[in-house]
Structure 1
C-alpha cells in the first residue's frame, strides 16, 4: 500500500468502511449476532464480494444463501444497523489513511464517497472525530446507482467543484475501485489492511 497523491489530483475522495474506518471487524461481528437471532449463518466471504454495496444487498444475500422464508430484509437491515450503531465505540481509524487525509486538509477539497447509509456514515465519522475534515459526504442514501456504478464518486466531484479526471479515490473494495476507474479518476488501492475478527456482546 503506497499512499501518494497523484501530481494532477486536485481533490481526494475517500471510501469509508475499510478505508478511513477500521469498521469491518465490527460489521462482521454485528452480522454474526444478527444471524444468530435469525438462526442462520453469516458467510464472511460475501464481505469481499459486496463491500461498497448498500446493507440491504447483504441482507438479501444472507436470506437467499440460508433459504430463509418470510424474513423481511428491511427488518434484518434495521437490526443490523441498530446493533452496529450501538457498538460504534469499538471503531478505530485506519491511521495511515487518516494521517494521509489530514495532511491535505485545507490544501485541496476532501470528500467521502461511501456505500453506507447517511446515518451510519455520520455515526462513524463522528465517533472517529473526522466529520469536520470533509467538504462533501456522499452516502448510499444520496445516489440511485451504487458502486460499482460511478455515481457516488461523480457526485463527490460535483459537490467539491473538481472535474472527475482531476480527482483521486482511496478505496479498499473491488466494487469501489471499479467505480473509480469508470469515473475516470486516479485510484489508490489501500489494501492490504489487516484486521482481527472479534465478537460483540448483546
Structure 2
C-alpha cells in the first residue's frame, strides 16, 4: 500500500466507485457518448472527464443547460440506455491496482463501504467481476439518497449504515465533486488521482 493512500485513525473507509476503485472512465465515456450521439449531440471526452463526479443524469442535465439543448427523450430514458450500454462491458472493467491494495490490506480490520454517485444495478453487476467483490460491508448509491455529490448525503448515509461517526471516516475519491462531498460530510478524504491517472486513449 502506498504511504499516501494509507488511512490513519479511521474507524471506517468509504470508497467512491468509478475512477477510484475501478478504471471505468473510458467505458463510461463511450456509453454516454453513444447515447448522446443518438440525439445528435457530440460529447467530447475532455468535457466528460472534467465532470466525472456527477451522476449520469446530472451530467446530461448539465450538458442541456450549458448548450441549451432540446433532446427528444427524457433524461431518465437516456440514462437507462447508457447503463445498458455500459453493462455490456462490465466484465472488462478492472480495479485500480493501487486502491485494490488498500482494500485488501484493510479488509477485516475496519468496516468498508462503496459510496458512489452511480446506479446501484450498474455497480452491483460490475462489482461481481472484481477481486474485492466480497470485501465491502455495504453499498450506497445515488439511488439511496435525495442528493448526489457534491452534496454529502451519500457519504453520510454510508457512515450511518456502518454506525460510525462521520469524523471517524476516511473517504477515497477521484473527483472534485466527491472531495467536496466528503469534506462537507466532515470526513477525512484521500485524493487517489495522483496514483490512478492513466494515459489518454487514442481515438477517444
TM > 0.5 fold call = yes
Q: Give the structure, 1 or 2, with the largest relative contact order (CA under 8 Å, sep 6 or more).
A: 1
* 1:113-132 alignment runs, 5 A limit: 113-132=115-134
- Alignment CA distance shift 1:106-1:58 (3 Å): same
Match of 2:187 among 178, 185, 188: 185
Query: 41-50 or 124-133, which moves further after superposition?
Result: 41-50
Range with greater deviation from structure 2 (123-132 or 113-122): 123-132
Q: Which residue of 1 aligns with 2:141?
A: 139
* Contact 2:103 2:132 survives alignment (8 Å): no
Q: Does 1:95 align with 2:97?
A: yes
Equivalent position of 1:24 in the other structure: 25
Name the TM-score, length of structure 1 as normaliser.
0.90
| Structure-2-length-normalised TM-score | 0.89
CA RMSD, Structure 1 to Structure 2 (Å)? 2.0
Q: Which 10-residue stretch deviates more, 61-70 or 133-142? A: 61-70
Q: Which residue of 1 aligns with 2:61?
A: 60
Structure 2 residues without counterparts, runs of 5 or longer: none
1:165 aligned to 164, 167, 181, which one? 167
Which secondary structure state, in structure 2, belongs to the residue aligned with residue 119 of structure 1? helix
Question: What is the aligned residue count?
Answer: 199
* 1:197 matched to 2:191: no
Deviation at 1:103, TM superposition (A): 0.4
Aligned to 1:71: 73
Kindly report structure 1 stretches of 4+ aligned residues shifted beyond 4 Å.
none
Residues 10, 108 of structure 1: 8 Å contact kept: yes
